[in-house]
Amino acid sequence: MAEPNLRREPSLNRDYRSYNQYRLDQWAMPSASLATKAAHALQIAFVALFMVAGIDKFTHQLTDWTQYLAAGIPRFFAISPQYFLYGVGGWEIFLAIGLVLRSRVFADLAAIWLSAIVINLLLQGQYFDIALRDFGLAAGACALARLSQARRRG
């Protein structure tokens, strides 16, 4: 015997919906909670990113950062590339601390900074893969800023 079509029989349709709603409610979390968890995950990731990258501008344990710097930028400021990167490292450490304290404001600054890095890499005419990655990171920083604003409102 064929099983009844639950969508056409009104008495069964109500029970079918309530059972499925129960199954969804059992696993679902409030959307505010999901937004908060997403914001915290992004915040932790960006704090770690900027703190490690900022410290490494001084220690050079990960890479030689001067290879990623367009030659015209330190020339514009009339300083050596290494001294310019010391300033960059200080700025990135400042961003990391700011993201801990006020992620809503500093996430926008992080997005602007990552966009400036993308422009630097494009001006250099190489490292397009890293520019694409940093573009994605800038989008993630924008998402963190919007999630932080929503979390603050609600």
Q: Is the pTM of this model over 0.85?
A: no
Residue 20: pLDDT band (50, 70, 90) is low
Question: How far from 45 is each of 79, 114, 144, CA to CA, in Å?
Answer: 31, 14, 10
Residue 101 belongs to a domain: yes
Residue 142 lies in a domain: yes
Per residue in 96-134, pLDDT (tens digit) is 999 999 998 999 999 999 999 999 999 999 999 999 999
Q: What is the pLDDT of residue 13?
A: 52
* Predicted pLDDT at 35: 82
Segment 6-32 shows an average pLDDT of: 54
Task: Give 144-150 contacts, CB < 8 A, sequence gap 24+.
Answer: 144/39, 144/42, 144/43, 144/46, 144/103, 144/107, 144/110, 145/103, 145/104, 145/107, 145/108, 145/111, 147/35, 147/38, 147/39, 147/42, 148/39, 148/43, 148/103, 148/104, 148/107, 149/104, 150/35
Cα 67 to Cα 85: distance, rounded to the nearest angstrom: 11
Q: How confident is the model at residue 19 (pLDDT cuts 50, 70, 90)?
A: low
pLDDT the model gives residue 89: 97
Q: Does residue 72 fall inside a structural domain?
A: yes
Q: For residue 115, what are the domain limits?
A: 30-153
pLDDT at 11 (0 to 100):
53
Q: What is the number of domains present in the chain? A: 1
**Mean pLDDT for all residues in the chain:** 85
Instruction: Please report whether residue 25 resides in a domain.
Output: no
7 in a structural domain: no
Residue 113 in any domain: the answer is yes
